[in-house]
């Protein structure tokens, strides 16, 4: 018999179900192994008693707020950040945590304010996607709060969720080579422009381009390399940057037959430049982007390297909860590094060389 009452305790739920309180906790948080039979008993008692986990009381006992802060570099123009946020929220909800987003819109001062605000609110962990100032990341670390960096890390020896940029670009260039292209251009950010660890992404992407050409015995033509700031603070500026760099390439005496662009946003500007030169994609020139944000909505739909954006957010929260709930201090001293795979999505913007 399981009397219906809103004041039922976890211990009572365990007694009614004939299991331990630890088993009840695992069912409530969906964390750890529970047999199907035991799970069914616990869930039945929860339904019959109307029991609800009192997260406020629990946080006071365990000194947790069940809140994870997420500091975002920007939510525009690149939808990348919105998708990472979605993944983080979904995973947090699955574990009965809440996520507080803070959009700093490319401003390091706002980023510092965000860190100070979240420290004062006693959040259980802070995610950075992507951090602007290493001093702000260090401030969060020094407060004793678990910190997880998502892409473009600013500080060493901190948990970080990466993307395999090198493999993604390699697949893109090999796809173009398989289509018969030899004159392949690269548009991206020059390695070293972004200081410290945060510049690893640009270095990986450019290195993959150079190495793949070399593997296929295609000579690197520096005229086909166009560096610029393609990660600007507005859609118009980012598109304009891609457009300007493409005009430079298309004005060459022997222009490229294909262009790899390190972001979908800039790739849309590249396609605009191609049309202004009265050329067609992919009949006259092929284009590949990176992200898979705007790619499906361009004309023609853009072949691109798909970033596991939602998985980035999910993985960051999983690591955060692992840190929050771990009692092994020695384990907490070992940085966790997770690298997620990319995927080449072939659409209509690439074709065989003419």
Q: Are residues 152 and 174 in the same domain?
A: no
Read off the tokens for 108: 């390091």
Residue where the block lists tokens 């005496």: 253
Q: Are residues 268 and 174 in the same domain?
A: yes
Report the 10 Å Cβ neighbour count for 135: 14
In terms of Cα–Cα distance, which of 45, 7, 50 is closest to 24? Answer: 45
Domain membership flag for residue 83: yes
Q: Are residues 91 and 181 in the same domain?
A: no
Q: Are residues 112 and 223 in the same domain?
A: no
Q: How many domains does one find in the chain?
A: 3
**Amino acid 113: pLDDT:** 92
**Calpha distance 216→169 (Å, rounded):** 14
Q: Are residues 175 and 236 in the same domain?
A: yes
**Amino acid 1: pLDDT:** 47
Q: Are residues 169 and 37 in the same domain?
A: no
Q: Are residues 30 and 68 in the same domain?
A: no
| Pairs from 205-209 (Cβ < 8 Å, separation ≥ 24) | 205/165, 205/166, 205/168, 205/169, 205/262, 205/290, 207/166, 208/165, 208/166, 208/167, 208/168, 208/169, 208/170, 208/173, 209/169, 209/173, 209/184, 209/260
Q: Are residues 318 and 330 in the same domain?
A: yes
Domain membership flag for residue 236: yes
> Do residues 260 and 186 lie in contact, with contact meaning Cβ atoms separated by under 8 Å?
yes
Question: What's the whole-model pTM score?
Answer: 0.79
Domain membership flag for residue 351: no
Q: Are residues 284 and 169 in the same domain?
A: yes
* Strand-pair partners of 149: 128, 160
Domain membership flag for residue 113: yes
**Amino acid 274: pLDDT:** 97
Q: Are residues 260 and 184 in the same domain?
A: yes
CATH of the domain at 121: 3.40.50.2300
Domain membership flag for residue 178: yes
pLDDT tens digits in sequence order for the chain, 354 residues long: 444 444 677 778 888 999 987 787 777 766 568 898 988 998 888 888 877 655 555 555 567 899 999 999 988 777 899 999 999 999 999 999 999 999 999 899 999 999 999 988 889 999 999 899 999 999 898 888 899 999 988 898 899 999 999 999 999 999 999 999 999 999 998 887 766 665 788 899 999 999 999 999 999 999 999 998 876 555 555 677 889 999 999 999 999 999 999 999 899 999 999 999 999 999 999 999 999 999 999 999 999 999 999 999 999 999 999 999 885 554 557 899 999 999 999 999 999 998
- Domain range for 33 is 10-53
**Amino acid 290: pLDDT:** 96
**Calpha distance 101→99 (Å, rounded):** 6
């Amino acid at each position: 018999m399981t009397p219906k009452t809103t004041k039922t305790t976890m211990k009572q739920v365990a007694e009614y179900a004939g299991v331990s309180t630890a088993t009840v906790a695992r069912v409530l948080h969906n964390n750890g192994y529970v047999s199907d039979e035991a799970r069914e008993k616990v869930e039945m008692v929860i339904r019959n008693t109307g029991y609800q986990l009192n997260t406020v009381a629990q946080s006071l006992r365990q000194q947790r707020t069940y809140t994870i802060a997420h500091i975002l570099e920007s939510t525009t123009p690149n939808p990348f950040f919105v998708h990472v946020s979605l993944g983080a929220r979904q995973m947090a909800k699955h574990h009965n945590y809440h996520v507080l987003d803070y959009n700093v819109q490319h401003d390091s001062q706002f980023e510092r304010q965000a860190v100070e605000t979240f420290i004062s609110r006693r959040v259980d962990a802070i995610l950075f996607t992507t951090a602007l100032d290493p001093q702000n990341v260090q401030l969060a670390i020094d407060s004793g709060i678990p910190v997880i960096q998502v892409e473009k890390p600013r500080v060493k020896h901190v948990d970080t969720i990466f993307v395999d940029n090198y493999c993604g670009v390699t697949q893109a260039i090999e796809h173009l080579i398989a289509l018969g292209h030899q004159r392949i251009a690269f548009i991206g950010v020059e390695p070293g422009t972004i200081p410290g660890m945060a510049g690893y992404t640009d270095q990986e992407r450019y290195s993959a381009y150079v190495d793949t050409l070399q593997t296929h015995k295609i000579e690197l033509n520096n005229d086909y390399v166009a560096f610029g700031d393609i990660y600007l603070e507005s859609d118009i500026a980012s598109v304009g940057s891609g457009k300007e760099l493409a005009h430079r390439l298309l004005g060459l005496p022997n222009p490229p037959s294909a262009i790899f662009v390190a972001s979908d946003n800039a790739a849309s500007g590249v396609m605009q430049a191609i049309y202004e030169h009265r050329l067609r994609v992919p009949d006259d020139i092929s284009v590949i982007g990176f992200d898979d944000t705007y790619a499906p909505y361009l004309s023609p739909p853009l072949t691109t390297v798909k970033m596991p954006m939602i998985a980035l957010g999910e993985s960051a929260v999983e690591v955060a909860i692992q840190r929050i709930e771990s009692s092994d201090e020695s384990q907490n001293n070992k940085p966790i590094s997770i690298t997620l795979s990319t995927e080449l999505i072939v659409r209509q913007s690439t074709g065989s060389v003419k």
